[in-house]
Amino acid sequence: MHPRLELRNICKRYPGVVANDDVSLSIQPGEIHAVLGENGAGKSTLMKIIYGAAQADSGEIFCDGNPIAAHNPATSRALGIEMVYQHFALFESVSVVENIALSASSAFDLPSLAENIRELSLRYGMPIDPHRQVHDLSVGERQRVEIVRCLLQAPKLLILDEPTSVLTPQAVVKLFETLRQLAAEGCSIVYISHKLDEVQELCDTATVLRNGKVTGTARPKETTSLELARMMVGSKLPEMHVSPPTPSEKPVLEVNNLSVKARDHFGVDLKDVSFNVHGGEIVGLAGVSGNGQAELIALLSGERTHHNNDAIRICGTAAACLRADERRKLGLAFVPEERLGRGAVPSHTLWENAVLTAHRFGTVRKGLVDRRKASAFAAGIIDRFKVKANGPGSTAQSLSGGNLQKFIVGREIALEPKLLLVSQPTWGVDVGASAFIRQTIVDLSRAGAAVLVVSEELDELFEICDRLLVICQGQVSPPLVRKTTDREEIGLLMTGRTMSKDQMANGSGDVALQD
C-alpha cells in the first residue's frame, strides 16, 4: 500500500533563513501524524508546501503513490487535501456559509449548505451559526468555521494547525472522537500542536523538526512528554517558578456591575459583570470562545467606551468613558488575541510596530519618530524574548505566529505596566517559548502589576493564575481560588452549568454546580 502522503528531500529557503532543509516523511492512510517543533522550526512552511500555498525549491511530493508537480490549494483540494491554517483564510465581509461556498468546487445551494453546516458543526461539538458575518466572530469561532469547512469536503488528508487551543476539555474529547472516526474511515491527519499531552493521547507517529531539519521520529504513546519536548528544543526545558501572590491592599482594576448590549444580534450581551484584580496577582478568565470575551476585552481595553464611567476603574480612576490611549496613560498595557491586524500591522517593520504603543518611552520626540531609539527598543525585545527575526527591520508578517506573539507580549511587558490585559498569551507558541512568556507574566505580577489573562487554555490558567473566573453567555462567575478548584469544575462552568443567585453574588467562596 502506498503512503497517503510522502515527502522526499523538501527544501525551502527565504532571504536569510532556511525554512525546510532536506525534509522527508511519510504518512499512511488512516494515520494521525504529529509534526512537532519550536516556533520557526519550519512546520507552517512545510504544511503550506504540502497544501500548495508555497512551492518547494527542491524535493518531491507524492499522494497515494502519484507524484504531485507544482500545485496550488485548488489542486490539493481536488486530491482530497484540506488544511486549517493557524492564521485563518476567511473573508471578513461575508457570512460563514458564503465563505464556505467560496471554497466549493461544484454547484451549491446556499440554504442547503447552511443547514449542512449547522448539522455538521453541532455533531462535532463546534456549534456555529452559518449566517453570522465573519467579522463578528471571535478567533475561536473562526477556527470552528475552518474546521467545519474542511470536514464538509470529506477529506483524504486533513492538516490541522493548533486545532484545540480554543476548545473546552469536553469539546476536545468530542473533537478527538471525530478525528479518530475520520482516521478509522481512512482519512490521514497531520496534527500540529504544542500540547504534548494531546499528541500523546491522539497521534500514532510524530516527526520532530528543529531549525528546518528532521531531528527524529517517535511513537508518542510510547514516549514521555519530556522526551518529546527535549527533541523539539534540543536542550532542557525551562522550569516555571510561581511564588505565592502578595495582593495589593487596593485593586488596580475594578469592574462594577458592567452591563452592555451587544452591537448586533450576533454578539453577546454582558450582564452585571463584576470582579477586581489586585496588584501582585494574576486573575484568569476562562470560557468557550464567543461567550462575551470579545465584548469584555473591548470595554476593558478602551476599544469601546461605556456610558457609566464608574463601571471600570483603573488605579482608582473611573475609566469606562476613557479612550484606549487615556487608559494607557493610567498604566494599562494590552495584548489582543489577534496578532496580525490588531496586535501588529502586518506590512510594518518590528521597530515601527514597537512605536505603536511605546511612543512615550523615548521613541517619539516632539511628534517625530526617533528611528534609532525605536530600533534599539525593538532590538531589546527581540533579544530578551528570543524572537527569531532578521532584526528590527523585519516585517511583522515575515515572522512565524509564535515569534510574532513573543514580540507583541514582549513589547507590552517592556512598558512596565501597572495593569496588563492579555488575551491568549501563548496561543500557537512552542513549549519553551510558552514557559518563558508565562514566567515573564508571573514575574511582572510578582513585581506588583495586576494581570488579567483571558484564555481558553485551562492548563495555562491553572499553571500561572492565582484566581479564576469563568465567563458564559455574558455572565462572569464569582472568583475561584485556583488551588481549590479543578479543570472539571471550570470546564463544566464553561459549558453552561448555571449558578444560584447567591453564588452569582460577588464573593470568593466555592461555587457548586447545578444543572
Question: So where are the chain's domains?
Answer: 5-233, 246-331+418-515, 343-416
Contact predicate 81/62, CB 8 Å:
no
Query: pLDDT tier at 513 (50, 70, 90 boundaries)?
Result: very low
Model confidence pLDDT, tens digit, residues 237-270: 667 889 999 999 999 999 999 999 988 776 899 9
Rounded-to-integer distance, Cα 92 and Cα 141, Å: 13
Mean pLDDT over residues 437-459, rounded? 93
**Alpha carbons 252 and 507: distance in angstroms, whole number:** 17
Compare 39 and 411 and report the one with higher pLDDT: 411
Say if residue 395 is exposed, middle or buried (CB neighbours under 10 Å; 0-12, 13-18, 19+): middle
The residue-averaged pLDDT of 147-175 equals 81
Instruction: Indicate the average pLDDT of the chain.
Output: 88
Residue, of 424 and 451, whose pLDDT is higher = 451
pLDDT in tens, 117-155: 999 888 877 789 999 999 888 766 787 888 898 888 889
Q: Where are the beta strands (DSSP E) in 336-459?
A: 364-365, 368-369, 419-423, 450-454
Mean pLDDT of 323-338: 94
Number of alpha carbons in the 13 Å side-chain half-sphere of residue 231: 23
State percent of the chain over pLDDT 90.
57
d(CA 272, CA 258): 5
3 state SS of 243: coil
- Rounded CA-CA distance 85/159 in Å is 8
Nearest partner of 140 among 290, 1, 38, judged by Cα:
290
Taking a C-beta distance cutoff of 8 angstroms, is the pair 35, 192 a contact?
yes
Instruction: Give yes or no on whether 5-233 and 246-331+418-515 have one common fold.
Output: yes
CATH ID of 246-331+418-515, from 3.40.50.300, 3.90.1150.10, 2.40.50.100, 3.40.50.620: 3.40.50.300
Q: What's the chain's Rg over C-alpha atoms? A: 23
480-506 per-position pLDDT tens digit: 999 899 888 888 888 765 443 344 343
- Predicted model pTM: 0.70
Q: Among 120, 106, 124, which Cα is nearest to 163's?
A: 124
Hey, what's the cell of 481? 481560588
Amino acid letter, residue 436: F
Look up the CATH architecture of domain 5-233.
3-Layer(aba) Sandwich (3.40)
Task: Decide the pairing of beta strands 332-335 and 419-423.
Answer: parallel
- Highest average pLDDT, of 70-79, 359-368, 371-380, comes from 371-380
Q: In this structure, are residues 134 and 142 in contact, taking their beta carbons and an 8 Å threshold?
A: yes
Residue 514 has pLDDT above 60, yes or no: no
